[in-house]
Structures are given as structure tokens and as C-alpha cells.
A and B are shown apart, each in its own frame.
Chain A
Amino acid sequence: DIQMTQSPSTLSASVGDRVTITCRASQSISSWLAWYQQKPGKAPKLLIYKASSLESGVPSRFSGSGSGTEFTLTISSLQPDDFATYYCQQYNSYLRTFGQGTKVEIK
């Protein structure tokens, strides 16, 4: 199995802050990585696919980068609607695996 490890697990930030979340894969996954946002009681929402491609309708303040084993999700200017939990997911392997999640909290 490919293990996905996110850091930090929790992040406290203020509106307007630049936020970066890291996701590391236990082996190379090329660029086969997606990022999701999940709010309490809701289904996850796709933000980024293929490591850096922005899903249609997602604000441009979200961006993704990386390849191989290290990836980042960046929110350029945190908005009130962005307080949520973020998950990475690899699809290099038929066994899709998710990171454990990063909760972005209000500071």
C-alpha cells in the first residue's frame, strides 16, 4: 500500500493568511494526487487533481504543487469559507489511499 502522510494535522490561521499543507507519499506517485476539502457533515469536495490542476469552479486562491513523493496545497489568502479539513489522495495505485487529514482552524 502507498501511505499518505499529511502535515500538520491541525493548523491555526487567520483570515488573509497564506496557508500551506504538505502531503508525503511512501513511494513515488508521479503527479497522481488529488486534494479535497471537507466541512463538518458534508461530503468531500474536489479542489485539485493531477497535483496542480484546479477543478472547475474552485477559487484561484487554491493551488497545488509537487511530484514524486512530496506535494503541497496552498491557500494564498485564507477566507472564512476555507476553515475545513483537507485531505490528499493518491491514485497512482489501484488501491486509492488518503492522507489522515489537516484541519484548518480559526486562530
Chain B
Amino acid sequence: QVQLQESGPGLVKPSETLSLTCAVSGYSISSGYYWGWIRQPPGKGLEWIGSIYHSGSTYYNPSLKSRVTISVDTSKNQFSLKLSSVTAADTAVYYCARSRWGYMDVWGKGTTVTVSS
């Protein structure tokens, strides 16, 4: 069965870069589908950050596009998120997910990232 697991620092200082990785098991990223990141600030709703195909083709939320980079490493069967110049507004639970034709059918458990000095 397909499983996704996020990893990365739980605490990031303001103005620094948030870096997360999503390890995929039970399915080869190279086989297809898009792979994406979604976040949820404390007590709030879901915000789509962006997605990547195994070829490296990406698309991002325009509201974050200037600060976001999503990359894929097919040899490790994982993909990553980098969000630069973070502020307290970037504090959230970050989820990685498989995007099956645009909707997310498999999600990681999520990882909490707090932006604070």
C-alpha cells in the first residue's frame, strides 16, 4: 500500500528557508501521478502549495510561487519542499500527498513546522 512520510525540522527561524522531504513507499514516483504539498495553519483550513511530476514539471500556488521550490529525487523515491524567507504566517502542519488527476488520494500524516526565533 502506498505510504508517504514527511520529515524535516520542526522549528525554523524567521527569514530562513523551510525544507521538508516526503519519502514515498509502496509506489514508484517514476510510475506517474503528480506529488504535492498542502499546508494547514493552526485552527485554519487547507492551502495547496504546489505539485511536481516525476519528470520535474512543477506548478505552484501563485501566492507562494516566488518563495517555493518543489523538487523530486526518483532514485530515492522522494520529493522535497523548500520555502524561503519564512515568517510566522508560514507556521503550519505541512502535508505531502499523491495527486491523482488533481485530487489527493494518499496523504502523509503531516509534520508541524513552527517559525519562531
Contacts and interface: CB of A to CB of B under 8 A. Distances in A.
B10 interface: no
Nearest to A94: B59
Query: Top 4 A-B pairs ranked by shortest CB distance?
Result: A91-B102, A34-B103, A43-B107, A96-B48
B41 interface: no
A87 B45 contact: yes
A14 interface: no
B46 A44 contact: yes
Contacts of A55: 105
Q: Is the interface of B mostly helix, strand, loop or mixed?
A: strand
A44 B104 contact: yes
Interface in B91-117: 95, 97, 100-105, 107-110
A96 to B, nearest CB: 4
Contacts, number: 53
B46 A95 contact: no
A46 interface: yes
Interface residues of A, number: 22
A50 to B, nearest CB: 8
Contact of A43 (B36, B45, B101, B110): B110
Contacts of A98: 45-48
B61 interface: yes
A91 B107 CA distance: 17
B62 interface: yes
A89 interface: yes
Contacts of B61: 95
Nearest to B105: A46
A39 interface: no
Contacts of A100: 45
A45 B97 CA distance: 11
A45 B46 contact: no
B103 A49 contact: yes
